[in-house]
A and B are shown apart, each in its own frame.
Chain A
């Protein structure tokens, strides 16, 4: 047997160096007895490590990552287990750590999990008490050899404080500049109380809801072994004992009559909107009134949308563009044509030389219709019923703006305007009449251009769309 003495209980570099030497010398795991320096090495563990025979052994990166954690476990078998894993990985089982069903892998991963949990609980359950001269001292009892590895967490968090964490095995001290590891301590070495603990206990008692006791869930996450070092835990038995009485008292009181002096509004800065005259002849006022009406619409699509999106642009614009419906971005922003299709439309408008002062933009349907799927909203085409619901709004909007020509973008807009399901391919480029006798110039919706798969057809169709816009602009010159 070959005895290997390690200087500390969680000294990963020392273990790694020893393991490398053993591996290079082809020493099988059964021939190694691992122990800590100062402990007896076992009766026959006096052979030296033989001369190296192999070089250039590689292991997947996941192994040292796992080993570095497992070595902090208190199980005395950890050094040997890690060496056995290393041996198997370097002897025809390179992918061993991926075999989650292997008993030794399960064991090592279980140990790593226990160590990580212990560290996480340490971050959570260390309780500092203020000692003289503004020093903060905590007594903590971890299950595994984690103190040194976890000092970094406390250092990053409390770099400006001076603190000590005492455990039975070792202690860590930060003086604001330097971290020093020291010997283990006793509970009595930490202050016995802290002035703020009373407030913390009061908080703990008040934040808990007595009407939903789940003590098993509490104990699963905050095991009883930690309670003796948690100031708030001493109140748990009392809180649990009192809970049923508190709930019974609530029930007995039942619904209470409203307080005689209700909390009042002390001052208000809520603006009261001015009443608007719906029958006014002034188009700006009429449009504002129509807008208010659309925003207040509670039709079937309103329930799921953020808000209605009304048209934008100057009254008297020569061209009025009608799109399909607001999309995801329009729904959030509350403005038409701000999403991807809107941006493409604006670019085309500029390239066609149509001044903004002559373009009013709106949609046939005023709410976003979509299907929520997981993390995104999927656009859904409005149906005949949706179109019909918003048509009265659209007709009045066109009437008030009073354009010389309406440009319909896509099938929905064309249908909303003409009342008929016309195919765009048939009427594209010619002027048709809306139900109200307004001239309508049909073209495609810019989102159609976005959906085209290949760049060539995209370019060709964009040019054609641009041609349509220019044609519409010529119509109104």
Chain B
């Protein structure tokens, strides 16, 4: 098969993995030899018409697979054309793209062929040749296969910046039904093993006197969960997410709204979820991790275990907790300001610094280009005191006029 055709098949097969991050790894460059650099910040080299960042060459080694996961385009019983890169082809493709500044590096995954160890070995080969034979200093993200042997995992971690295992679905029952060969306990144990090794390597980097522990995935591990392929509600999704962050020290849990795939399985729901659900879940996840909200508080803004799709979860929470408002921008402590709809972490810190020098008026907020319509009903400034906080139609006043109607996924009939 021609290389271009292989690339088309194996990139198409990889696009349902949402992550394309290239950030958070150690700093290194090619001044002492080799090629490539990583400087902490990720770089998106292009954006596709689906709005997603293209940072890495994201492909599968092969889309042949012995597993039969219903949501996956590459499942054993799917009719898609199959292809397989040779290790050499992948190494050359990565370097050719990298030299032209198309990419930050490689995100390599694979269907399971023969056995987990056999597949993992091929993935590790690509990373090893890039690093050892070509001195590649760019970013490498390897998908890890839960049942692969500890030796292969150790080698993967030595060469890769990030490792990931997809949790796939929010609840164990759904995974059993849709991905019969996958085992949630095994996935969790594998994430646990990776956490231990990542922590070990990090400790060793700190303690300089001791002999360094082998390098292991300095950019940590991440995972992905498909939203809307099973019946799990938002509470279940966020609960599982919080568990994953807390238990395995994940850098990111990616949500991927289940999207119609060519050659779909009958086990899947006919309707994909609206894309905005994915967006609301990310917002809620942020509030949980960085804004001091609890799961119960966030879910109180929605109905029946689902977030409000029409407005963001912080606004939804605020509308149901009007007694906590208004908050005085010139006097309230940081944690109260963080709960005001329309104020992000960065803005709050800038306002805290500014108010030490002069008191803040509404026009100052306008100058900072903050969303006044959303903000002012909840905020007291030097020259403004809201009178609408208890109005019944407040939601209509503060909800975005267009709703979040725009990026709605195309509907299956």
Contacts and interface: CB of A to CB of B under 8 A. Distances in A.
Contacts of A477: none
A230 B46 contact: yes
Contact of A199 (B4, B65, B66, B172): B4
A209 interface: yes
Contacts of A136: 99-100
Contacts of A230: 46
Contacts of B96: 196, 199
Contacts of B49: 208, 213-215, 218, 236, 239-240, 243
Nearest to A248: B410
A101 B360 CA distance: 8
B46 A159 contact: no
A474 to B, nearest CB: 38
A264 B66 contact: yes
B54 A204 contact: yes
B129 interface: no
A259 interface: yes
B243 A372 contact: yes
A106 B111 CA distance: 51
A216 B404 CA distance: 13
Contact of B50 (A124, A194, A214, A303): A214
Interface string B266-281: 1010001001000000
B399 interface: no
Contacts of B50: 208-210, 212-214, 218
Interface string B256-294: 010111111110100010010000000000001100001
A436 B395 CA distance: 63
Interface residues of B, number: 106
Interface string A359-386: 0000000000010111111000000000
A208 B52 CA distance: 8
Interface stretch (B29-37, B158-166, B309-317): B29-37
B308 interface: no
A160 interface: yes
B37 A267 contact: no
Contact of B410 (A204, A205, A206, A212): A212
Contacts of B34: 160
A202 B4 contact: yes
Interface in A131-159: 136, 138, 153, 155-159
Nearest to B195: A332
A235 B354 CA distance: 47
Contacts of A156: 29-31, 37, 39
B249 A259 contact: no
A268 interface: yes
B86 interface: no
A167 to B, nearest CB: 15
A258 interface: yes
A261 B101 CA distance: 41
Instruction: Give the dominant DSSP class at A's interface.
Output: mixed
Interface in B339-384: 350-351, 353-354, 356-358, 360, 364-365, 367-368
A207 B294 CA distance: 36
A187 interface: no
A206 B7 contact: yes
B318 interface: no
Interface string A284-320: 0000000000000000000110110000000000000
Given A207-B48, A214-B51, A269 B93 contact: no
Contacts of A75: none
Nearest to A373: B246
Interface in A323-337: 328, 331-334
Contact of A222 (B29, B46, B196, B262): B46
Interface in A231-280: 232-233, 236, 239-240, 243-244, 247, 250-251, 253-256, 258-259, 262-270
Interface of B: 3-4, 7-9, 11-12, 14-16, 29-31, 33-37, 39, 41, 43-54, 57-58, 64-66, 68, 76-79, 82, 93, 96-97, 99-102, 111, 113-115, 117-118, 172, 185, 188-189, 191-193, 195-196, 239, 242-243, 245-249, 257, 259-266, 268, 272, 275, 288-289, 294, 350-351, 353-354, 356-358, 360, 364-365, 367-368, 406-407, 409-410, 412-413
Interface of A: 95, 98-101, 103, 106, 120, 123-130, 136, 138, 153, 155-161, 194, 196, 198-200, 202-218, 221-222, 230, 232-233, 236, 239-240, 243-244, 247, 250-251, 253-256, 258-259, 262-270, 303-304, 306-307, 328, 331-334, 370, 372-377
30 contacts: A106-B368, A123-B43, A124-B44, A156-B37, A157-B30, A159-B30, A160-B33, A161-B35, A198-B4, A204-B46, A207-B48, A209-B52, A211-B409, A212-B275, A213-B49, A215-B51, A216-B406, A222-B46, A222-B47, A247-B260, A253-B262, A255-B266, A256-B264, A259-B78, A264-B66, A265-B66, A334-B192, A372-B239, A373-B246, A377-B247
Report, nearest first, the 3 A-B pairs whose CB atoms are least far apart. Answer: A217-B51, A214-B51, A258-B77
Given A98-B353, A130-B99, A199-B96, 20 more contacts: A100-B353, A125-B46, A130-B100, A136-B100, A153-B39, A157-B35, A159-B30, A202-B11, A207-B14, A208-B48, A209-B52, A209-B259, A212-B50, A212-B257, A213-B49, A215-B49, A239-B48, A255-B268, A262-B77, A333-B196
